[in-house]
Amino acid sequence: MNLENFSYDNKVVKNFAFASVFWGTIGMLVGVIIAMQLYMPVLNFDTSWLTFGRLRPLHTNAVIFAFVGNSIFAGVYYSLQRLLKARMFSDKLSNIHFWGWQLIIVAAVLTLPFGITSSKEYAELEWPIDIAITLIWVIFGWNMFGTILKRRERHLYVAIWFYIATFVTVAVLHIVNNLELPVHFLKSYSLFAGVQDALVQWWYGHNAVAFFLTTPVLGLMYYFVPKAANRPVYSYRLSIVHFWALIFIYIWAGPHHLLYTALPDWAQSLGVVFSIMLIAPSWGGMINGLLTLRGAWDRVREDVILKFFVVAITAYGMSTFEGPMLALKNVNAIAHYTDWIPAHVHVGTLGWNGFMIFGMMYWLIPRMYNTKLYSQKLASTHFWIATLGIIFWVLPMYFAGFTQSLMWKEFTADGYLVYPNFLETVTQIIPMYIIRSVGGLMYLIGMIIMSINLWKTVKIGNLTENEPAQAAALVEYKKHKGEHWHRWVERKPIQLMIASLALILLGSAIELVPTLIIESNISTISSVKPYTPLELEGRDLYIGEGCNNCHSQMIRPFRSETERYGEYSKAGEFVYDHPHLWGSKRTGPDLHRIGEKYSSSWHYNHMYDPTMTSPGSIMPAYKWMFTDNLSTKYTKSKIKAMITLGVPYTDLEYKNAVEDLNIQAEKIAIELNEQLQNPIVKIDKNKEIIALIAYLQRLGTDIKTK
């Protein structure tokens, strides 16, 4: 046999690993800050770029795409080379991938805090960055497939299947969800509106969890857990069922994020059914992961890496059980919009993602640096402080979630809401928010301990940038008699990719197509009209401030909600909403029927200092909106973009957009002057606050009987 000499590229693995630790620390720090802002709103220091609404997307993007993203790439680049007995296809592509990804993260840091956002959850980045992500993602795929094609190992281990499915699906999700029409370099409108936009968004949002936070990490599990336990995976058969079942079912489950909303019922039911089915493959995977430690359980006591893995896989099992339960309509009716949801999410992210990554880092870094971990004790401390951190994070949020839900829904014997003032349900859970932030802080401290430990390890060790290896070249394969047909897929990566693509497209098509193409699915309401130019500008300010991070605009058809907010939301009311702003969490009350509920002067005071109208409110003060002038530079291009998207503005409305805007602003300014004898700030029709009030006063009024 002819042995070939080659080397594994450890440098790119190291780069991604360090980037993951660096960005992860920042992302978690931002998380702790926004957690504290919920009980100390002053922590934004009266600056716009540090408010909760703007930092929350920064936190989620940083931890998902920078922390987990970079570590996935580190793990993939390490395991892929070894499983295929080949160096990465191109060092140049590896480098472009690494630096491109970091630049994208920097771009996120430079846009999100400044209100440059498309508002779609976990896809907030604006269109030029979306394009950059697409390009870098293609580079990653190209590099991966190049490596697969020049491999020296015929069979593709199941971890690689997970990587392939990740690549294909994330590409599809990212492109479809980010279809948007640019207005200018840093502003775009989603191609979809209202219900359709919401459906596409949650098809994406749910599958970002599935194919960015789950499948690649499962690939890592199937590689690194056997490595750390020094025994093969419990059942390879089970891993195959796990793979196909998971990617097949996951893609359908998105609508469970929209239960009881204006989404058509059949799509909601589809989401529920598939979510319940997801328990089977998820638990199959969890059992497979845990049983890989068969006969090695005694080592879990000593080996901190195995400890991390065991908790990670257990957390995976817990959150994949909880997820389907939350997808049941009756449970969802309680949990949706409450703090139960972040609790659920953080079992997955802190437990499953974080602990898999920590275990992997502690295993990888010493090996690549040819040394032992600097301190087992510090690693053990990290493990315990992070585990406790998760508990302190999650438990109070479960209590908070239940408390909110019970208070929102409680009626007196006479049929009135017991807590008609939403604020009461907020102040009630402040202690929970405080404990939660302590949990987050503990987790962050653990992360810092790990950084120090790894840094010390790197200092005493020596990196083998190019690790020498030897393997026989792949000889042409001759199919032997009686061979099972599936061997064909296992040998052929391209077929595997096409098969995965077909599977996810099938689910996506059945889920999305009917709602997207059939207009009659969404009944139009004749009284629903497009926003005026001033309202549209106000809406964009609402998006820029990230109001949708704390306020929903979707009243579910429950008595407790119609009593509190007004008539429940209809699909036809959102047909001009590019993008939809339904939100997913009610840290503050729903705003869909806020229009005309209060006087404009109430909004004026409330936005300047929320505690003036609502003592105890935890909403930030939006003082800059009273000093910043509303820019009308793009008003006409915005109307034009909306016309392109099918919003029925007339030619005249387009031509007179700015004039109309000024007239309406003037009207609101006069109204405010009448209502406020001594305004806190001099009323000026050119300020941003006027546009925001115009938008808020319009919300949900189209179907009100006047």
Partner 1 sequence: METIIGIEIYPIISLTIFFFFFIGIIYWVIKMDKKHINEVCNLPLEK
Q: Which residues bind partner 1 (CB under 8 A)?
A: 79, 82-83, 153, 155, 157-159, 222-223, 226-227, 230-233, 236-237, 240-241, 244-245, 248, 264-266, 270, 484-487, 490, 506, 510, 514, 518, 520-521
Strand partners, 4: 471
Q: Which helix (H) or strand (E) element contains residue 3?
A: strand 3-9
The CA dihedral of 592, 597, 599, 601, to the nearest 10 degrees, is -40
> Helical H runs in 568-687?
600-608, 610-613, 635-644, 651-655, 657-675
3-state SS assignment for residue 521: helix
3-state SS assignment for residue 187: strand
The residue among 520 and 678 lying less far from partner 1, judged by its C-beta, is 520
Taking Cα atoms as reference points, which of 705, 701, 704 lies closest to residue 595? 701
CB of 484 to partner 1, least distance (A): 6
CB of 283 to partner 1, least distance (A): 16
Q: Residue 471 has what DSSP assignment?
A: E
Question: Which one-letter amino acid corresponds to residue 288?
Answer: N
Write the DSSP assignment of 296-309 as a string of letters.
-HHHHHH-HHHHHH
CB of 499 to partner 1, least distance (A): 11
CB of 302 to partner 1, least distance (A): 20
Taking Cα atoms as reference points, which of 77, 101, 98 lies closest to residue 89? 77
The residue among 265 and 651 lying less far from partner 1, judged by its C-beta, is 265
CB of 23 to partner 1, least distance (A): 27
d(C-alpha 58, C-alpha 64), whole Å: 10
d(C-alpha 350, C-alpha 579), whole Å: 30
CB of 233 to partner 1, least distance (A): 5
Tokens for 260, please give them: 């009881």
Taking Cα atoms as reference points, which of 501, 503, 618 lies closest to residue 171? 501
State the residue for tokens 């503990």.
442
Strand partners, 187: 184
The residue among 487 and 623 lying less far from partner 1, judged by its C-beta, is 487
The residue among 83 and 594 lying less far from partner 1, judged by its C-beta, is 83
Tokens for 6, please give them: 């080659």
CB of 492 to partner 1, least distance (A): 15
Angle (CA) 151 156 161, round 5°: 120
The residue among 270 and 441 lying less far from partner 1, judged by its C-beta, is 270
CA atoms within 13 A on the CB side of 646: 10
> Helical H runs in 304-375?
304-326, 329-335, 340-346, 355-368
Tokens for 281, please give them: 């493959």
Tokens for 299, please give them: 């080592």
The residue among 159 and 313 lying less far from partner 1, judged by its C-beta, is 159
Tokens for 574, please give them: 């959102």
Taking Cα atoms as reference points, which of 14, 119, 40 lies closest to residue 368? 14
Taking Cα atoms as reference points, which of 373, 399, 223, 244 lies closest to residue 304? 373
Strand partners, 180: 190
CB of 520 to partner 1, least distance (A): 5
The residue among 40 and 471 lying less far from partner 1, judged by its C-beta, is 471
CB of 299 to partner 1, least distance (A): 16
State the residue for tokens 């008595």.
559
The residue among 362 and 626 lying less far from partner 1, judged by its C-beta, is 362
CB of 597 to partner 1, least distance (A): 34
Bin 416: left if φ > 0, else alpha if -120 < ψ < 50, else beta: beta
The residue among 246 and 536 lying less far from partner 1, judged by its C-beta, is 246
CB–CB of 405/561 below 8 Å?
no
d(C-alpha 200, C-alpha 65), whole Å: 20
Count other C-beta atoms under 10 Å from residue 614's C-beta.
18
The residue among 137 and 223 lying less far from partner 1, judged by its C-beta, is 223
d(C-alpha 358, C-alpha 355), whole Å: 5
CA atoms 561, 563, 566, 569: torsion sign: positive
d(C-alpha 442, C-alpha 384), whole Å: 10
The CA dihedral of 644, 649, 653, 657, to the nearest 10 degrees, is -50
CB of 155 to partner 1, least distance (A): 5
Distances (CA, A) of 435 to 24, 38, 385, 652: 22, 12, 15, 56
CB of 409 to partner 1, least distance (A): 29
CB of 526 to partner 1, least distance (A): 18
The residue among 112 and 246 lying less far from partner 1, judged by its C-beta, is 246
The residue among 221 and 669 lying less far from partner 1, judged by its C-beta, is 221
CB of 128 to partner 1, least distance (A): 38
d(C-alpha 64, C-alpha 372), whole Å: 29
CB of 158 to partner 1, least distance (A): 8
The residue among 284 and 610 lying less far from partner 1, judged by its C-beta, is 284
The residue among 196 and 453 lying less far from partner 1, judged by its C-beta, is 196
CB of 264 to partner 1, least distance (A): 6
The residue among 222 and 622 lying less far from partner 1, judged by its C-beta, is 222
The length of the chain is 706
The residue among 43 and 245 lying less far from partner 1, judged by its C-beta, is 245
Gap between the terminal Cα atoms of the chain: 87
The residue among 231 and 640 lying less far from partner 1, judged by its C-beta, is 231
CB of 236 to partner 1, least distance (A): 4
